[in-house]
Amino acid sequence: MSERVPRTGPRAVLPYAAAVVLLCALPLYLEAYWLRIGLFAMAAAIGAIGLNLLSGGTGQLSLGHAFFLAVGAYGYAWLAGEPGPGLPAPLALVLAVCLAGVAGGLFSPVSGRVRGVYLGVATLALVFLGHHVMLNAEAVTGGYNGRAVAPFTLLGFSFTSADPELSVLGVPFGAEERLWYLGLALLGLAWFTARNILRGRPGRALAAVRDSEVAAAVLGVPVARYRSAAFVVSSMYAGLSGALIALAFRRIVPDYFGLTLSIDYLAMIVLGGLGSVAGAVAGAAFVTALPLVLTRYADVLPLVDEPGAGGQGVGPTEAARYLYGAAIVLVLRYAPGGLVGLVRRTPAPGRRAAPAASAPADDGAPANAASPSVRPSHPKESSS
Amino acid sequence: MTTALDILLNGLALGSVYALVALGFVIIFKASGVMNFAQGSLLLLGGYLTAVLHEELGFLPALLLAVAATALVAGLVDRVLLRGMDPRHHHILTIMTIGVDILLLTELARRIGGDLLTLGDPWGNDVLTLAGVTVPTSRVASITVSVLVIGTVFAAFRHTDWGLSLRAASEDQEAAALMGVRLGRVRTLAWALAGALAALAALFLTAFPAPGLERTTGQIALKAFPAAILGGMASPPGALLGSLLIGVTEALAAGYQSELSALGRGLGDVAPYLVMIVVLLVRPHGLLGTKEAVRV
């Protein structure tokens, strides 16, 4: 993975500033339905960034992300609500994130030692064990039917449709609009932190561990500690994401936090591009919004039945699953670097393409005619 | 005493079915380093084809056709999708199998709907009485056929060119390629074999006393994951051992549920994972897995 030199100066900040202004203005124009989709996407993005720190940063595969989302969600719901201690919401949120971190830390005897697919399947166990606990610890989780989530309040300002009544520029601000800004702030924080982790000393250490554990150890990187630490940080991101999802849903049930959710998160980061924070956000938006948008426009799409039509055709939920599966296969087949890889492949404006690629194109010869002889031959390529 | 023996037999039958699926995982992993998440939907495909075909063709031809078709589909997944991808990117290939799984599973679930399909196996709900213990004939058939099939696959590992190539490829892909092993062919065959094993497992999973084939039957593959991991992902005997361990554990936890009620309902479903975590804590590479030596 090539490190890019960070650009500085006003020109580099401008696109970000524009994006932030746009995102802040959206609640003035969009309906609550779209804001809810955006809210879920933002919550998912925070979780995906966390998983990306683990999988993309250190090369560890985790299928247990749904478990840590659940810890965050139920942690917040219990700490802030009844039954539970009924703590102030911001404190409950922070404690829920810490709780997810502790859960990740408790798993460190496994996450520090077990590698590759072994870790992937070991974390699979967390999802099933977590589900079992969620169903049986009814005092905390409410059992199969789940529990309600206390609304978020900050310094007397409630993130619900009332208390206090609020309208900005003639647009009444309900729960979705208010939570949108909360989500945006938390996503910004998560993005900023993750970028700094990846670009700073820990990020380089993690990349060294990913590329070769032995070489990293020789260079003085405490491998097991960094692997566990990455797991803890990723769990904390998941906890924050889970708490935000709980706030958006207002009611959480155990069945939501199943293996499918874990797989969705894995798909997000791979679709977006492993190791890239922006990619994780893009992947999260894609995976979260696709089924919801398809359901919304089911009646205008060809071949898709309306929900509840009962025909032999393909329902919107199924259509979304087909598209989702096909997107995973096709994106990875043709762009193994994910969506971010697609963007980066196009040369930046003002930079010339590599001379070797552009020279044969001048005289009209196919550009790749010369490449087989140029390309270093590799035993794997010739055999497969 | 009879209940204990009963539970043990149940566990062995369950374990033998897990072993068929887990062996598929291990074969694909050995050949390509990929964790095949599509195994569950391949299993469902095999079961569905048998269920649809058995009324017209009769049971045995339907089963054989379903096994062959599933093997073909699995082989095609490898040929069409995974071929030509950089084989070192195991992560990416693994996630691609998730995509394949979603596609296959959605289509099959749509076709099956809420139905409960029967596969038309000849055993029905017959029972055998052996030494005072009554067991369903299908369980005995499950153990017998699994032992035969797994024995054949193990023999193929040892005594055929393909088995030798597979073992060479899993040791060192590059060296194997230089020795003339056709990695692509070895891998496609491995996929096809894993597909065939999954289709066969579908039969025994849905036979009496199980109710039949549902859209969720494929989820059984999720329990074969711990079985494969537990024994050591690159070790076929390990997969066998792991499967039996998981099967017996699950049967024990389900059988003695009332005594274990303090741990919550539905313990049988999570016990395999608990066992796996404990084993991985002690042996991070599984029971029979070898620790990878790393050269710098």
By the 8 A CB rule, do B250 and A135 touch?
no
What are phi and psi for residue A7, nearest 5 degrees? -80, 150
Task: Tell me the helices (H) and strands (E) count for chain A, helix number first.
Answer: 18, 6
Helices A65-80 + A89-106 axis angle, to 10: 140
Nearest Cα residue in chain B from A213: B294
Dist. CA B35–CA B26, nearest whole Å: 8
- Sign (positive or negative) of CA dihedral A272, A275, A276, A280: positive
B260 CA to chain A: closest CA distance, Å?
13
Q: What is the mean pLDDT of residues A368-372?
A: 37
- Given its phi and psi angles, is residue A146 left (phi above 0), alpha (psi -120 to 50 degrees) or beta? left
Q: What percent of chain A has pLDDT over 90?
A: 2
Identify the residue whose tokens are 């959206």.
Answer: A26
Rounded Cα distance between A19 and A52, Å, is 22
ipTM: 0.80
Question: Which SS3 state, helix, strand or coil, does residue B155 take?
Answer: helix
Give A114's contacts in chain B (Cβ within 8 Å).
Answer: 280, 284
Closest CA to B136 of B209, B203, B210, B59: B209
Over range A21-44, report the average pLDDT. 79
Q: What is the pLDDT of residues A66-99, one digit of tens each?
A: 899 999 888 888 888 777 677 787 888 888 889 8
| A298: confidence class by pLDDT, cuts 50, 70, 90 | low
B125: three-class secondary structure by DSSP: coil
Whether A286 has a pLDDT exceeding 80, the answer reads yes
Q: Tell me the three state secondary structure of residue A147.
A: strand
pLDDT at position B193: 92
Residues 6+ apart with CB under 8 A from B213: B44, B47, B48, B51, B112, B116, B117, B118, B119, B202, B206
Closest chain A CA to residue B84: A384
Contact A328 B98 (CB under 8 A): yes
Surface of A (307-326) touching B: CB under 8 A: 314, 318, 321-322, 324-326
Q: Chains A and B: how many Cβ contacts under 8 Å?
A: 146
Q: Which two tokens stand for residue A377?
A: 């031959």
pLDDT above 60 for A347: no
Q: Which of A232-236, B15-19, B89-93 has the lowest mean pLDDT?
A: B89-93
End-to-end CA distance of chain A: 25
Residue A375 confidence (pLDDT) above 70: no
Shortest Cα distance, chain A CAs vs residue B14, angstroms: 19
- Whether residue B273 and residue A212 make contact (CB cut-off 8 A), yes or no, is no
Is it the case that residue A305 has pLDDT exceeding 70? Answer: no
| All residues at 6 or more sequence positions from B22 whose CB lies less than 8 Å from its CB, including other chains | B224, B225, B227, B228, B231, B239, B240, B242, B243
Residue B70: pLDDT band by 50, 70, 90 thresholds? very high
Q: How far is B178 from chain A (nearest CA, A)?
A: 7
Query: Cβ contacts (< 8 Å) between A321 and chain B: which residues?
Result: 102-103, 106
* For residue A166, pLDDT beyond 70: no
Query: How many other C-beta atoms can be found within 10 angstroms of the C-beta atom of residue B179?
Result: 12
CB-nearest to B99 from A131, A328, A336 is A328
Phi, psi of A173 (to 5 degrees): -95, 105
Q: So what's the pLDDT on residue A353?
A: 40
Specify the higher pLDDT residue, B71 or A370.
B71
> Cβ distance A32 to A178 under 8 Å?
no
Ramachandran bin of A9, using left for φ above 0, alpha for ψ from -120 to 50, beta for the remaining angles: left
- List, as ranges, residues 103-122 from A with C-beta within 8 Å of B: 109-110, 113-118, 120-122
- Residue in chain B lying closest to A216 (CA): B296
**Confidence grade of residue A312 (pLDDT, cut at 50, 70, 90):** low
The alpha carbons of chain B give a radius of gyration, in whole angstroms, of 19
Question: What letter represents residue A113's amino acid?
Answer: R
Domain ranges of chain B: 2-219
A383 vs B contacts (CB less than 8 Å):
177, 181-184
- For residue range B185-236, what is the model confidence (pLDDT) as tens digits? 888 888 999 999 999 988 888 877 777 788 777 777 778 888 888 877 778 8
Is the pLDDT at A4 greater than 60, yes or no? no
Task: Note whether A288 contacts B: Cβ–Cβ < 8 A.
Answer: no
Question: Which residue of chain A has the CA closest to B87?
Answer: A380
Q: For residue B91, what are the CA distances in angstroms to A280, B96, B212?
A: 16, 9, 34
Q: Do residue B99 and residue A327 have CB atoms under 8 angstroms apart?
A: yes
- Tell the residue number behind the tokens 């799409």, with chain if given: A301
**Which of B77, B81, B95, B225 would best serve as a mutation to test chain A binding (most A beta carbons within 10 A)?**
B95
Residue of A116, A128, A321 lying closest to B106 (CB–CB)? A321
Interchain pair B106, A322: CB under 8 A: yes
Q: How far is A363 from chain B (nearest CA, A)?
A: 30
Q: Would you say how long chain A is, in residues?
A: 384
Lowest average pLDDT, out of A16-20, A206-210, A288-292, B161-165, goes to A16-20
How close A121 gets to chain B, by Cα (Å)? 7
pLDDT, mean over chain A:
74
